[in-house]
Amino acid sequence: MKIIGIANNRVDIDDNKIGEMVKYLMYREKNKITYDEFKNMIEPIEDIKIYRFCDKLHEVASIILNIPVFDIENAKGRILENYDYKVIKGMRQKGNVKYDFTNPQLSSMTIERFLRRLHFSMLNVHSDVWIKALFSNINTPTAIITDVRTRDQKLKIVENGGIFLSIGRGINHEIMDGEFIVDDFEICGEDDDFILSALEMALIRSYMISHLR
């Protein structure tokens, strides 16, 4: 199994876009295809899949609140009282039931804040709960993880034989084992060709080093 993590430190380039580009580069290893052709493909690629550490967090929140994952991921400041939501309180509860919460802090809470609370609450169960949730869900030969943020996430990827690409880096950045830098100067704005070229060079470097070990 190949695991490629993406630690995107730039706010001007979307994580999902970087993930799709890496997916294309991996797919292109065995298939002669242009990036435009890849973007227009209808049939899904079964052996290469994009994952995120936040996926399980969003799924759990969706179950608790009875709000579709799509709405949770596109909330952008909306508060819970704007949704026909419910909180699971037991097996007897059935159907779409709207609860009037006695705690006004919950009904007036934004979805983003709810996600933060849920995230940190679950860390009390296990410090690696979201990392374990993601890795137990990987079921493809090649996995691309697009939201690598913490050192523990990076270490877990490397422990499982993967590498991660750092898109841009801050001052005094300490390079870790398994990390391959895509420097800012290699990316010119949001031009797809420049980004693809920079990502490809980083993947080539990782391939060469892994074969030298």
Could you report the per-residue pLDDT of 150-207, keeping only the tens digit for each?
889 999 999 998 988 888 765 556 677 778 777 654 445 556 777 788 888 888 877 6
- Residue 157's pLDDT is what? 92
From CA 73, how far away is CA 90, in angstroms rounded?
A: 26
Task: Indicate the number of domains in the chain.
Answer: 2
State pTM to two decimals: 0.79
Is 196 part of a structural domain of the chain?
yes
Shared domain for 161 and 193, answered yes or no, is: yes
Check whether residue 144 and residue 208 sit in a common domain: yes
The string of pLDDT tens digits covering residues 101-121 is: 334 455 567 888 888 888 998
Does 107 reside within a domain? yes
Contact by Cβ (8 Å): 187, 194: yes
Assess if residue 130 is contained within a domain. Answer: no
Classify residue 165 as exposed, middle or buried by CB count within 10 Å of its CB (0-12, 13-18, 19+).
buried
Residues 148 and 201 in one domain: yes
Same domain, 158 and 198: yes
Q: What residue numbers bound the domain in which 199 lies?
A: 2-47+140-212
Query: Do 85 and 39 belong to one domain?
Result: no
Residue type, 146: T
